[in-house]
A and B are shown apart, each in its own frame.
Chain A
Amino acid sequence: MTNDAITTQPTYYEEVLRKGYSRRDFVRFVSMMTAFIGLEQSAIGQVTKAMETKQRMPVIWLHFQECTCCSESFIRSSHPIVADILLDKISLDYTETLMAASGTQAEEALKNTMTKYKGKYLLCVEGSVPMGADGVYCMIGGKTSLQILEEASEGAAAIIAWGSCASNGCVQSAKPNPTGATPIHKIIKNKPIIKVPGCPPIGEVMAGVIVHYLTFGRIPELDKLGRPKAFYSKRVHDTCYRRPFYDAGLFVETFDDENAKKGYCLYKVGCKGPSTYNACGVMKWNNGTSYPIQSGHPCIGCSEENFWDNGRLYERGSSFAGFGIESSADTLGKVALGVTGAALLGHAVATNIGKSTFIQEHQEEGKESEKELK
């Protein structure tokens, strides 16, 4: 899947200049071409302009059952900043959040892009689609979101499913999913779909996905669940700076206790980092300012499917649905390790070479926690 036609091709004017011709040559060429394709002389200016100007990637951004946190996160991107994305990189032809036009004029803008750039535009979807009651739980311009999605996806080159709503249904699909909130990939089957889960996804991740598409001319490599590998291949737990505390058995027992002030591991107060694939631990949020765990709150697992129904927020991870092979290895490790302090030390050193002094200092405390964890 590439989008060469739109982003990687230089304009005709650039091409002409590169080959050593002058602007006068270029205009002469345009005049000839205009006559050749049967246009009036008055169209020369228009053709010249069109050939001089490089097209930006047309983007349609639909909003369905959502809270707009994805759009908000997108505008938080620090690199590239959103003003540059909007002015230089893409042509955001439809988005209810930011576009100037409303009503008929908004619908026209949508239609224009769908017709003019058929097969070439990028379709972004924020929000889930309610399938209950024939779709009347989300209507725009008198149409259901399902009708709008089906029409807009037909001519899309690719689809980005922004956030957990579009990727897996998010909060409105939590039990009992009363509106039949449905993610995009369960409705549209014949287009490449990039899932960018998270509630919301990190702003720089969203910008990163778009920039990847524009820079390399193809969609990013996806994992088996359809998420870009670049951002969703590592567990928050594995990239967490508090991981050594976990390995050492040092935990926050309750919020605001002494261990919380020391920044120990939040696993026992419900951290879902061990079962959550996201880039929070590496990229952090808001241009690297912090991320939930750094600010003392457990990861709630917002980029995982059905995270609203995977146990309570402050419940220890044992009841995670899909607490997989990798993470149970940790758990098994813990159970075995709890037996003796020596074993604890052994495991800790094995997983954290070079941290042995640190571990030793906290060993006694860790042993106590270890027993409780068991």
Chain B
Amino acid sequence: MSKRIVVDPITRIEGHLRIEADIENGKIKDAYSSGTMVRLLEEILQGRDPKDAWAFVGRVCGVCTSIHSLTSVRCVEDALDIVVPPNAELVRNIMFCAQYMHDHVVHFYHLHAMDWVDVVNALKADPKKTSELAQSISHWPKSSPGYFSDLQKRIGKFVESGQLGIFANGYWGHPAYKLPAEVNLIGLAHYLEALEWQKEIVKVHAIFGGKNPHPNYLVGGMACAIGIDDVSGLNAERLAYVGQLLKDGKEFIEQVYIPDLMAIASFYKDWGAIGGGLGNYMVYGDLPTNGYRDTANYKFPGGAILNKDITKLYDVDLKKDDEIQEFISHSWYEYKDGDNKGLHPWKGESKVKYSGPKPPFEHLETDHKYSYLKTPRWKGNAMEVGPLARVLVGYARGREDFKAVVDKALKDLNVPIAALFSTLGRTAARGLESVLTAQWGLEFYDQLLANIKNGDTRMAEMSKFDPATWPKSAFGVGHTEAPRGALAHWINIQDQKIANYQLVVPTTWNASPRDGKGQLSAYEASLIDTPVADEKQPLEILRTIHSFDPCMACSVHLYDEEGKTISRISVLGD
């Protein structure tokens, strides 16, 4: 007989996620993932200026900030057939890399580390031994015995105060924590260092986009004009600042994040066989090196993998009616022609209809509808998206840079490639692609400098900014690889206004409820068979769910209210 447990709120994520799981004989037998907040942004976008959309959808998420704005301007540029100047592409790429560096480091230390690092146990560490260990894995300068000893005293005083703040009620002492006290102390020290570091790398966004979170984008390019002889433009000082930030960021990733990741992973190799889930992976690809339209020359190549078979790669077409579709069999919506049909985003229709229990409630009705997330499918398949998908696709495409980092990590940990299909694999992949984006960011930066030196100072293509130049009707798709995975926006512009705007986002792929055929999505599938040592302390559930880096505000979107049916948009000859 299984027992139903509820974890709500799942903390250390963006947004509101609830997990219900059935536990039998110390393992998870079935699991249900539910998004419990909705804002209906797509309805709000209707009738607005397509050039403004990036600002609205940028507010979908402040954690993976910038990435929805980027997707939105690409989506409108696709609809209006605008090609941005190379400099704008490079600036967008540099901001993309900075975003990955920031987001992945913050995820590792501030959202995920406490699943592996026992903060209270760190107080038992020997600072001298900790220092020796730290110096053996990295040449990061802050690793003297005194440094660790001071930190330990500070945390000791904090714990003694009895006010544990964000560490209160953690699962400290849980048997699933396996790190020696010294590694725990390193993890805790770098939790605090990373908290200070993360505010630096985002200055790249402030320089190009004016602020972070939510830097500014522009349909047609970027607004940060190059003016090498003016104090207001991108001049030598501004560019040098970007270069320094990227360099310092790379140093932190290589000397702190990666050594910590590998040290911690080496104590949790058993998690290389837990939490694998679907085995289907999908990537749209990003980081153009020869223009956004030349998808073959992306740094992150696109493609899909089925059943963990990395010898076969499939292409994904975002515009084809029968490839990407959204289902609502277990989502709190209604479709006009019945809830069992899947709809391509350009034809998307939604009517929110909450049919769950009246709050306050104990359990969701998981046999029926139980989430505000829709269920996207690719050719009917449930797909996992995110760092692991990207690393696997890059590896499967035979890209040398991917092979180098993956093979080294497998060798250092002494695990087979199959260990990647797991909770640990997801967490490791995030680190590995951070190394790559840190390198690529500097490559793009050098190219930007070379372009400017060669006299190309264009930053925006403005010939189609005036709506008078637009066709009466236009359709577009914009895609990217958000830190959490494949992201695309679909737009329909009619008479210079947004007639329909749809987003299918990474966390919707991963965190959605099962489909009408009973196929689980990634979160639910990955929890099956996960051991749970103490059902009152859901540490193992947190490990696997956090390995996906949930972003719930992103994942919930629809565009209707209280039974009103929106005008259906006729596309693709429909």
- Interface status of B420 (Cβ within 8 A of chain A): no
Given contacts A141-B9, A176-B44, is CB(A297)–CB(B119) below 8 Å? no
A100-139 vs B, Cβ < 8 Å mask (1 yes, 0 no): 1111111011001000000000000000001011111111
Given the known interface contacts A99-B12, A104-B536, the answer about A132 and B226 at a Cβ–Cβ threshold of 8 Å is no
Chain B, residue nearest A69 (CB): B62
- B359 and A286 contact, CB distance less than 8 A: no
Question: Cβ of A255 and Cβ of B220 under 8 Å apart?
Answer: yes
> What distance in Å separates the Cβ of A200 from its nearest Cβ neighbour in chain B?
6
Kindly state whether residue B300 has any CB partner on chain A within 8 Å. Answer: no
A73 at the interface (CB under 8 A from B): yes
CA distance A73 to B212 in the complex (A): 7
State the CA gap A206–B251 with chains docked (Å): 29
Question: Would A294 and B210 count as touching, CB distance under 8 A?
Answer: yes
A98 within 8 A of B: yes
Would you give the shortest CB distance from A106 to chain B, in whole angstroms? 5
- What's the nearest-Cβ distance from chain B to residue A283, in Å? 11
Q: Which residues of B from 165 to 182 have beta carbons under 8 Å from A?
A: 165-171
Q: How far is the CA of A254 from the CA of B463 in the complex (A)?
A: 10
A133 and B562 within 8 A (CB): yes
Which of A256-264, A340-348, A353-361 lines the interface with chain B? A256-264
Q: CB-defined interface of B216-259 with A at 8 Å, one 1/0 digit per residue?
A: 10101111111100111100000001000000000000000000
B553 surroundings in chain A (CB, below 8 A): 66-68
Using a Cβ–Cβ cut-off of 8 Å, how many residues does chain A contribute to the interface with B?
A: 103
Q: Which of B73-81, B201-209, B270-278, B410-418 contacts A (4 or more CB under 8 A)?
A: B201-209
User: Would B40 and A285 count as touching, CB distance under 8 A?
Assistant: no
Q: Inside 8 A of A160's CB, which chain B residues have their CB?
A: none
B435-474 interface with A by 8 A CB criterion? 457-460, 462, 465
Known: A96-B9, A98-B110. A174 touches B359 (CB 8 A): no
The answer to the question of A351 belonging to the interface, with a C-beta cut-off of 8 Å to chain B, is: no
Cβ A255 vs Cβ B462 within 8 A = yes
Q: Which residues of B contact A203 (CB under 8 A)?
A: 199
Contact: A295 with B208, CB < 8 Å? yes
Cβ of B403 to closest chain A Cβ, rounded Å: 34
Query: Distance in Å from the Cβ of B204 to the closest Cβ of chain A?
Result: 9
A242 to B213, CA, bound (A): 23
Whether A53 touches B160, Cβ cut-off 8 Å, given contacts A76-B202, A142-B360, A200-B214, is yes
Please encode chain B, from 128 to 147, with 1 for each CB lying within 8 Å of some chain A CB and 0 for all others: 00000000000000000000
CA distance A99 to B169 in the complex (A): 9
Flag if B210 contacts A285 (CB, 8 Å).
Answer: yes
Give B225's nearest chain A residue, CB to CB.
A260
B contact residues around A142 at 8 Å (CB): 6, 8, 359-362
Complex CA gap A203/B199 in Å reads: 10
Residue A171 interfacial (CB < 8 Å): yes
What is the CA–CA distance of A293 and B224 in the complex, to the nearest angstrom?
9
Given A75-B195, A76-B212, A291-B210, A179:B39 Cβ within 8 A: yes
In contact, B119 and A100 (Cβ under 8 angstroms): yes
In the assembled complex, B328 has its CB within 8 A of some CB on chain A:
no
| A86 on interface, CB distance cutoff 8 Å | yes
A59-95 interface bits toward B, Cβ cutoff 8 Å, 1 = contact, 0 = none? 0000111111111110111100111001100111101
Q: In whole angstroms, how far apart are the Cα atoms of A143 and B49 in the complex?
A: 37
Is A147 in contact with chain B by the CB < 8 A criterion?
yes
Among B50-58, B338-346, B392-400, B520-528, the stretch that binds chain A is B50-58
Are A143 and B360 closer than 8 Å at their CB atoms? Answer: yes
A51 to B163, CA, bound (A): 13
Q: Is the CB of A139 within 8 A of B195?
A: no
* Residue among A87, A139, A254, A291 facing the most chain B CB atoms (10 A cut-off): A139
- Expressed in whole angstroms, the minimum distance between the Cβ of A278 and any Cβ of chain B is 11
A100 touches B16 (CB 8 A): no
Q: A53-B162, A171-B56 are in contact. Are A263 and B230 (CB under 8 A)?
A: yes
A181 to chain B, nearest CB (A): 7
Task: Compute how far the CA of A91 lies from the CA of B168 in the bound complex, rounded to whole angstroms.
Answer: 10
Binds B, one of A19-27, A182-190, A211-219, A306-314: A306-314
Chain A residue with the shortest CB-CB distance to B54: A313
Within the complex, the shortest CB–CB distance from B549 to chain A, in Å, comes to 13
Contact between chains at B40 and A178 (CB < 8 Å):
yes
* Cα–Cα, bound, A92→B227 (Å): 44
Assembly CA distance A263 to B224 (angstroms): 10
Q: Which of A97, A99, A112, A313 contacts B52 (CB 8 A)?
A: A313
- Known contacts A69-B62, A92-B165, A172-B44; A49 and B160 CB within 8 A of each other: yes
B295: chain A residues within 8 A (beta carbon): none
B26 at the interface (CB under 8 A from A): no
> Which residues on B sit within 8 Å (CB–CB) of A147?
359-360
B65 touches A (CB below 8 Å): yes
**Bound state CA distance, A53 and B157, in angstroms?**
9
Distance, CA A283 to CA B7, complexed state (A) = 41
Does B199 contact A295, Cβ atoms closer than 8 Å? no
User: Is A137 in contact with B6, judged by CB distance below 8 angstroms?
Assistant: no
- Residue pair B212, A285 in contact (C-beta under 8 Å): yes
Check A255–B11 contact: CB distance below 8 A. Answer: no
Across the interface, which residues of A come within 8 angstroms of B165, CB to CB?
56, 86-87, 90-93
User: In the assembly, what is the distance between CA of A78 and CA of B356, in Å?
Assistant: 44
Of listed B52, B222, B458, residue having the most chain A CB within 10 A: B52
B residues near A333, Cβ cutoff 8 Å: none
Proximity string of chain B (309-337) to chain A, C-beta cutoff 8 Å, 1 when within and 0 when not: 00000000000000000000000000000
Interface positions, chain A 246-304, Cβ under 8 Å from B, are 254-257, 260-263, 280, 285-287, 289-297, 300, 302
CB atoms of A292 and B210 under 8 A apart: yes
Most chain B C-beta atoms within 10 Å of own C-beta, residue among A67, A134, A175, A177: A67
- Find chain A residues with CB under 8 A from B48 CB: 312
Tell me whether A35 is interfacial, beta carbon within 8 Å: no
State A249–B466 Cα separation when bound (angstroms). Answer: 23
**B201: min CB distance to chain A, Å:** 10
5 tightest CB-CB pairs across the interface, nearest first? A263-B232, A69-B62, A100-B170, A292-B210, A295-B210
Q: Which residues of A contact B (CB under 8 A)?
A: 49-50, 53-56, 58, 63-73, 75-78, 81-83, 86-87, 90-93, 95-106, 108-109, 112, 130, 132-145, 147, 170-172, 174-179, 181, 199-200, 203, 242, 254-257, 260-263, 280, 285-287, 289-297, 300, 302, 308, 312-314
A-B contact list, 27 entries, CB within 8 Å:
A55-B163, A69-B214, A72-B65, A75-B195, A76-B212, A87-B154, A91-B165, A96-B11, A96-B16, A99-B168, A101-B11, A102-B9, A102-B10, A105-B169, A105-B537, A137-B37, A137-B38, A144-B359, A254-B465, A255-B221, A256-B458, A261-B230, A286-B202, A290-B207, A292-B209, A300-B55, A312-B52
Other than A69-B214, A104-B536, A178-B562, give 7 A-B pairs with Cβ distance below 8 A. A67-B62, A96-B11, A96-B12, A98-B110, A174-B56, A285-B210, A297-B223
